[in-house]
Amino acid sequence: MVDNLLPDKNNSVSLDGRAKLKLKHRVSCLIGPLKGRERLQKAYRIRLEAARFQRDLPLTRHKCNGDENLYPNKIGSFSKALPHDNLGEVSLSAYYSLIRALSSGDPEEFESIPLGGPAKLVNPQAAYAYELAGPDSHHLSMPPAPALSSAETAGEMAECYWQALARDVPFTEYETDPLTVAAASDLSGFSVFRGPKECGAVTPGTLFRGDTPGDLEGPYISQFLWQDIPFGARTVTQRYHAAAAGADYMTSYKGWLKIQNGLAPSSQNVYSTVPRYICNGRDMCEWVHKDFSFQGPLAACLILLGYGPEALAQSNPYLRSATQFGFPTFGSAHILDFTAHAVRAALEAAWFQKWLVHRRLRPEEFGGLVEKQMTGRASYPINSELLNSQVLSEVYSRYGSYLLPQAYPEGCPAHPSYPSGHATYTGAGVTMLKAFFKESFIIPNPVVSSYDGLSMLPYTGPPLTVGGELNKLAANVALSRDFAGIHWRSDGIEGIKLGEAVAIGILRDYRNAFNEDFAGFSFTRFDGSKIAI
C-alpha cells in the first residue's frame, strides 16, 4: 500500500496506468509521521506513563477530626434528611445504616437507609467513581476539618452569624455600616480566625473576603461576576433577580427540626421583578443557589476569550506562530473543555471527602446545638468564645432564637459540609484558567456595581489583574455559600485547594499529549507559590 502520494515537480502524481489501476481501491489518504500500529503504541505509552505516574505517588493518609467517634449521639456529624428525635439528635439506627452503606459501597445498601422525609441524600455513590485522567479522587487528601468544640469552629460560626445579619448590607457600604463595623470588631477577638486581617485585626475592608492573592484588591465582587459575557452570537448581561431583603428562614425551632428531618419547607423565596447586578451578600447567596456547576468558571472563560490573544498565557505555542492559531488544541475548544472537565472531576474528589472521610455537620445543624445550649434544653461542648460573642445577642434580638438564619427556605443540601462542592469545582476551573491565560493581564474597563445594583459604574482604583480576579471569583463563590448559612469558611479554603490539586493532576496527565512546541503550563497557586507543569 502506498501511504504517501507526493506530487512531482510538475505537481502531478507519477504513476503508470497499471499502477493506477492497482491502487484504485487500495490507496491510503493517511499522511503524517506515525501510522497504524506506531500511533497505537505511542497512544498506549502516553496513557500508560500517566497511569504509572499516578500509581507511583505515595499513598495518602486520610485524617478526620475525630468528632464522629468522640460523640456517641453523633452531634458532630452530618445527619440531615435522616430521622431525628425532638431534641434534634439523629436516630442512631438510621445513622449506622448510612455508615454501613458507605462502608460497603453496595448500591442495594443505599436503598435501605431510613429517611425522615421526602428529601433524598445527594449522590453518595459519586464517592466511588474512577477518573481516567488526573488523580483518582481517593488519592487526594485534605487536613481534618476543625473540631466541633474548637476555637476555630467558634470563629467560623460567628462569621456565619454575622454574614446572615449583614446579607442586605451593600458591599459599597461595608466601611461605614454599623453591622459590618461590629462584625469586624467581634471577629477580631476570636483566638483562631482564618479570614484575612490588617495589622492582626479583621477590618471592614477585609471582612468576609478570601485569603488568596488579589482577594483584597478592588471591589468585593470579581469582575467575572459583573462584566458582560460574550455568549456566541449574543451578549449576556450579568443582572439577576434578587431575593427579597430580610427574607430569612429556619429561625424557629419547630421549622428547623422539620427541615432536619428532610421535610419540605413551608414557604418559598420571593424575588424582585427588576433584575440587578450583584451588590450585596444576599444577591451572592442567590447566585450560588441557582447556578449550574461550572457557571462561574464558564463565564470567566468566555470573558477571557473575549479579551483576545493578548490575554493568553505566554506559553501558548500559537502566540509564536506566523501561520496558525489554536482551536482543538490551545484554542477556545481546548480551554472550555478542560475547564468543564476539571469541574466534574473536582466534584468527585469533593464527594469522596464529604461522604467517606469527614461527614462534617453543616452550620445549620450547629445552629441547632447553639439554640439548645443557650435555652437550656441540652448541654453541648461549644467553645465559650462563641457563647460569649456579641453576635448571639444580635441574632436573638432580631429573630428571637439562636438558630443560624438561612437564606434558603430548604436550608443546606443533603450532603456533608466538608469540603464545599462549590469551592472545590470553582477552584479547579479557576486553576485551569490560570494555566491558559496571562495572570498579569490587566482587566480592561473594570466596573463596580452601584449600592443598589441597578447600574454599573466605572472602577477607578488600582489595576485589577486576571490572576487576582480569578482568585477572587473562587473566594466569592466559596464564601457566598457561607453567606447563605450552609458552609463554613474552612469548607471553602480547603475546597479551593482540593480543586486546584485536581486540575494540576489533569494538566500533568495531558502534558505530553500535544504535538506543538510547548514548554508546559505555569501559573500561581492559591497559596502564592509558583508551579510549572
- Which residues are marked as active site? 415, 422
- 331 exposure class (CB count in 10 Å sphere: 0-12, 13-18, 19+): middle
C-alpha–C-alpha distance, residues 453 and 169, integer Å:
12
C-alpha–C-alpha distance, residues 506 and 483, integer Å:
31
The amino acid at 457? L
C-alpha–C-alpha distance, residues 389 and 394, integer Å:
9
SS3 sequence, 315-370? CCHHHHCCCCCCECCECHHHHHHHHHHHHHHHHHHHHHHHHHHHCECCHHHHHHHH
Furthest-apart CA atoms within the chain: distance in Å: 101
Whether residue 444 has a cis bond before it, omega within 30° of 0: no
Contact criterion met (CB below 8 Å) for 286 and 409: no
The amino acid at 150? S
Hunting for cell 485585626 — which residue is that?
201
186's grid cell:
467581634
396's grid cell:
436573638
- Reference 249, options 408, 393, 365; nearest CA is 408
- Reference 428, options 484, 505, 370; nearest CA is 505
Contact criterion met (CB below 8 Å) for 462 and 475: no
The amino acid at 1? M
217's grid cell:
484588591
Using DSSP, how many helices (H) and how many strands (E) does the chain show?
A: 17, 6
Stated length of the chain: 533
With a CB cutoff of 8 Å and minimum separation 6, the contacts of 142 are: 62, 353, 357, 358, 418, 419, 494, 497, 498
